[in-house]
């Protein structure tokens, strides 16, 4: 599977994306950060077996998510409907979500993207999440950056 194939979910029907606009046909509401995201259970269930199981247990059409922010959930919903993710969508929070909800293809892509974006500003967030999800490649890359920065500091101190 090519990287471009993973940017949008296997459901590649362009007309499916239109259903995100029709709230009256939705049978599921994600409540995140006090905001509502409308969706269809079947589409979300296809995206993740974990979602499928969790959706079976809710009594009404509301599914409250407190562990993730609105931007993360809207990205996952749009991805589930076949929309391509933008570069700004690749966040540490989305990486953790795809790990927790077993959206493996997207998880691998985000992990790969983050590997190339580790820098001094984000290394602590990425390292913390990498530990939580046992991402060996991200942990190694973070440690490599730590070591390089320490060497650079040491060299500048000695100069």
- Asked whether the beta carbons of 145 and 114 are under 8 A apart, the reply is no
Q: Give 156's contacts (C-beta < 8 A, 6+ positions apart).
A: none
154: pLDDT strictly greater than 70: no
- Asked whether the beta carbons of 50 and 61 are under 8 A apart, the reply is no
- Please give the pLDDT value at position 102: 94
- Please state the domain extents for the chain: 3-103, 118-159
Q: What predicted TM-score, i.e. pTM, was given to this entire model?
A: 0.81
Q: Domain 3-103 is in which class?
A: alpha beta
User: Quick one: pLDDT band at residue 2, thresholds 50, 70, 90?
Assistant: very low
116: pLDDT strictly greater than 70: yes
Q: For residue 45, how many other CB atoms are within 10 A of its CB? A: 18
């Amino acid at each position: 599977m090519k990287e471009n194939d993973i940017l949008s979910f296997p459901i590649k029907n362009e007309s499916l994306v239109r259903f995100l606009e029709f709230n009256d046909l939705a049978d599921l509401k994600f409540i995140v950060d006090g905001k509502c995201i409308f969706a269809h259970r079947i589409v979300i269930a296809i995206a993740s077996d974990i979602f499928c199981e969790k959706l079976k247990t809710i009594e009404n059409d509301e599914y409250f998510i407190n562990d993730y922010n609105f931007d993360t959930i809207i990205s996952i919903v749009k991805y589930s409907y076949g929309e391509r993710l933008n570069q700004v969508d690749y966040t540490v929070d989305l990486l953790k979500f795809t790990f927790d909800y077993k959206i493996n293809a997207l998880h691998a892509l985000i992990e790969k993207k983050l590997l190339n974006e580790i820098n001094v500003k984000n290394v602590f967030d990425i390292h913390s999440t990498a530990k939580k999800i046992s991402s060996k490649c991200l942990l190694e890359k973070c440690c490599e950056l730590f070591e390089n920065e320490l060497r650079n500091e040491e060299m500048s101190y000695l100069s």
